[in-house]
Amino acid sequence: RNDPNGYLFDELVHVPLIFSGIGLKSKIITNMVRHVDIFPTIEDVISLPKKNDIDGESLLPLINGKKIHENPAYIESPPAVKEEHIKEKIIGIRTSSYKMLKQEDSGDVVELYDLANDPLEEENIVSSRPELVKEMENKLEEIMANKKIATPQDKVDLDKIQRELEK
């Protein structure tokens, strides 16, 4: 399904994640994880010193069979350009149970889905669940407030990483 409004349905944003390497157990994990967790996981797997100034958490405990808490995932779409006008960028938050989408500029919440009972995201419950909308907006604000922004000074030292990999 492709939505002309730029909404982020799961079939557009759900990406399988595969980690493979020496010492990693073969395992299927059904937990929701986030793209921002990939680099901290790689850091953990190859024993690089951890940086506190990046988003995400290592998934290595989950890979090793331990339970970890679920972090909500921030999602966004680029602005859609169609018929000579630009539609607003959509941002949102997804948990394993719910997904909320809103227009970035106006802040209007436009979609809320109960993923446990409506996995195809066919029934927008934004009007009937104002308390949940507020809870999801608070989680989104917390993510936005804590998001770490990369600057030109934060360049990755590729030579250092290569040296670590060769050890």
Average pLDDT over residues 79-97: 72
67 SS3 class: coil
List Cβ neighbours of 106 (8 Å cut-off, separation of 6 or more).
88
Average pLDDT over residues 4-28: 77
Strand partners, 86: 81
In this prediction, residue 2 has a pLDDT band, given cuts at 50, 70 and 90, of low
pLDDT at 19: 84
CA–CA separation, 18 vs 126, rounded Å?
34
Question: The whole model's pTM is what?
Answer: 0.73
Give the helix/strand (H/E) hosting 159.
helix 158-166
CA–CA separation, 96 vs 12, rounded Å?
16
pLDDT at 4: 55
Average pLDDT over residues 160-167: 77
101 SS3 class: strand
pLDDT at 151: 43
Instruction: Say which DSSP state 75 is in.
Output: E
Residue written as token pair 């331990």: 66
| Position with higher pLDDT, 84 vs 114 | 114
In this prediction, residue 81 has a pLDDT band, given cuts at 50, 70 and 90, of low
Average pLDDT over residues 44-67: 86
11 SS3 class: helix
Average pLDDT over residues 151-167: 66
Under 8 Å between Cβ of 59 and 33: yes
In this prediction, residue 3 has a pLDDT band, given cuts at 50, 70 and 90, of low
CA–CA separation, 135 vs 99, rounded Å?
12
CB atoms within 10 A of CB 74: 18
In this prediction, residue 125 has a pLDDT band, given cuts at 50, 70 and 90, of very high
